[in-house]
Amino acid sequence: MAHVATIVCDPAAPALTGELIARASSILTDPAPPQWLDPGIAADIVFEPRESESANTTAKLLRAALEDTAADIFVQPLKGRRKKLLLADMDSTMIGQECIDELAGEIGKRGEVAAITERAMRGEIAFEPALCARVALLKGIDHAAILRVIESNITLTRGGLELVQTMRKNGAYTALVSGGFLVFTAAIAKKLGFDEHRANKLLFDADGKTSGLAAEPVLGQEAKLSALQSLREKLGLSAEETLAVGDGANDLSMLEAAGLGVAFRAKPKVAAAAHARVDHADLTALLYAQGFRREEFATRADL
């Protein structure tokens, strides 16, 4: 079966040249002429893989050949590379922050909460109890402060709008699935145009301040996997027709079960286990990985 190697760099710093793409081609078996998806930024090379060589092995060989270039590598079967379902993590993936850490900053507890967040995202402690411990530290924050954090502290990751809108324009279903909170996912899903969003619910006291509790059950690693499986069933899709992206240990099961699971600027454990990793480019890398050319990218105005 024909495979395709897609090489992508940061669109803000084009670094790919014909010489670099030729070097990559020399690693591959029976490569076709390279095809630029975006000159200087992304290129496809279709090839016939060796029977004894996995996609991960080929990707590692290509990374080694291009180690002097800040480039990300995707290697996958050519057939079926366009996906019909996108599941995306929110914190440190679709946005540049960890929402719970930003909330903690409002009450002077950022360091304490961020330390727990980091350990949970690395997989050093279980996500669900870690979330409950952090939410307990957030007791007493009023709703207005949360809205202020969303407005002033949260930034969208470059390429996220194009990723969601291009996939939707081409018939895919998109879901934002977060271990964070619904009050944040509602705002981010609306800004980026996701079809739906799922997250944890913060509970409030009668005076409108956080109670220090989250509604049960906590949405963690297994809930993200369940979301992928239930949406696949609802939409009548195979595993190969799905794409998932995330950065933390609570994304691992979802990434492993997707047709293409991408670790985005992820913790080492997650990057090692995912089908592909993005360390340099922005989220448009997931569009190039599906074979979209730059001129095919959509924005909200295109829908």
CA–CA separation, 276 and 255 (whole Å): 10
Angle at 90 between CA 138 and CA 218, to 5 degrees: 55
DSSP letter at 28 equals S
Catalytic residue among 91, 247, 251, 282: 91
Mind listing the pLDDT tens digit of every residue in the chain (303 residues)?
A: 899 999 999 999 999 999 999 999 999 999 999 999 999 999 999 999 988 889 999 999 999 999 999 999 999 999 999 999 999 999 999 999 999 999 999 889 999 999 998 998 888 988 888 889 999 999 999 988 999 999 999 999 999 999 999 999 999 999 999 999 999 999 999 999 999 999 999 999 988 899 999 999 888 889 999 999 999 999 999 999 999 999 999 999 999 999 999 999 998 899 999 999 999 999 999 999 999 999 999 987 565
* Tokens representing residue 188 in the block: 């981010």
Look up residue 165 and give its amino acid: Q
Inter-helix orientation angle 182-192/143-153, to 10°? 40
Specify the pLDDT at position 49.
92
pTM of the model: 0.94
Is residue 267 within 8 Å of residue 248, measured between CB atoms? yes
Residue 195 a catalytic site member: no
CA–CA separation, 295 and 142 (whole Å): 44
Angle at 6 between CA 22 and CA 264, to 5 degrees: 130
Per-residue pLDDT tens for 271-286?
A: 999 999 999 999 999 9
Is residue 178 within 8 Å of residue 202, measured between CB atoms? no
User: Among 259, 117, 231, 235, which residue's Cα sits nearest to residue 180?
Assistant: 117
Domains and CATH numbers, the chain: 1-79 (3.30.70), 83-303 (3.40.50.1000)
Catalytic residue among 72, 89, 101, 282: 89
Residue 91 a catalytic site member: yes
3-state helix, strand, coil in the chain (%, to 5): 45, 20, 35
